[in-house]
Amino acid sequence: MKISVVSKILEANDKLAAANRMAMDAAGAYCLNLMSAPGAGKTTLLTRTIKALDGALRVSVIEGDIQGTYDAEVIGALGVPVMQINTGGACHLDASMINDAMKEIPLMETDLLVIENVGNLVCPAEFNVGEHIKVMLLSLTEGHDKPLKYPLMFQESSALVINKLDLAPYVDTDPEKIKRDALSLNPSLKIFEVSCKTGQGIGQWVGWLREIHSLHRKNTKASA
């Protein structure tokens, strides 16, 4: 039966995701799975983040795309380790793909491992790849209906980054509705409003990343 097959696929994925997480923890690498629709600005947010961190955290990146290497080239130009995954048509990354990519990343020299998932509002939320947190990026140009149309993405995420605030005067989107609906699905969701074009809000976002990384490191040392 289809349901049984899907369950077995997810079960096998979750087992490998757990192994990925163990390897990350052993290396001291904190992993963020960045998800969004195509064109929301994941790579631009990541570029801004790396520049704002300015070496405070050693960043490595795994780039997921159906095909092409453009995003990996953009990130690689910043001087950080980057590994490209081309899914060849699959709409998400899975734990097996990340397991292979991690072998090409200097994990022991990484504080923050960012996985830029394939642009899709459905499938990436369903697959655990071993990340410590999922982060959802939504641009104002996508409209304010997305939380209620794609609830799982918002329910599974620890943070929501609302991007392209500089376009607010030009689009018929209500950011407050986005926040209300997102919080109705996930009351503990941390929300950041940014413009990757102007840099607005990036400081708060990066400050939070440094904070949760520090907390994770303390917790990891305490449990060792």
Return per-residue pLDDT of the chain as tens, 224 residues: 444 545 666 788 999 999 999 999 999 999 999 999 999 999 999 999 999 999 999 999 999 999 999 999 999 999 999 999 999 988 999 999 999 999 999 999 999 999 999 999 999 999 999 999 999 999 999 999 999 999 999 999 999 999 999 999 999 999 999 999 999 999 999 999 999 999 999 999 999 999 999 999 888 877 76
CA angle 50, 23, 109 (to 5 degrees): 40
Q: Where are the domains of the chain?
A: 2-214
Tell which phi-psi region holds residue 211, choosing left (phi > 0), alpha (psi between -120 and 50) or beta: alpha
Question: CA torsion sign, 207 to 120 to 185 to 14?
Answer: negative
Q: What is the pLDDT of residue 7?
A: 67
Specify the pTM.
0.94
2-214 under CATH 3.40.47.10, yes or no: no
